[in-house]
């Protein structure tokens, strides 16, 4: 579960970088991933994983 939502959020961030049209897609994917994380009760874990990986780059 965490892997799916973490991957979706990372994908959404990657899509948002190149342009506004892609940013809209990225925002939709991020919202979808957030809804899944809320439904599965793993929001804190997913956000911690994404943040840790983003900061380690």
- Specify the DSSP element, H or E, that contains 15: helix 2-16
What pLDDT score does 1 carry? 65
What pLDDT score does 17 carry? 63
- Of 45, 48, 19, 13, the C-alpha closest to 31 is 13
- Give the CA-trace dihedral at 12, 16, 22, 24, to 10 degrees: 80
The per-residue pLDDT string of the chain (57 residues; one tens digit each, 9 = 90 and over) reads: 678 888 887 787 776 666 666 677 778 888 888 888 888 888 888 888 887 887 887
Q: Cα separation of 6 and 33, whole Å?
A: 8
């Amino acid at each position: 579960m965490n892997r799916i939502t973490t991957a979706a959020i990372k994908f959404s961030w990657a899509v948002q970088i190149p342009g506004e049209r892609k940013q809209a897609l990225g925002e939709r994917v991020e919202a979808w991933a957030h809804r899944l994380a809320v439904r599965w009760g793993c929001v804190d874990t997913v956000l911690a994983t994404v943040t840790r990986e983003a900061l380690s780059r």
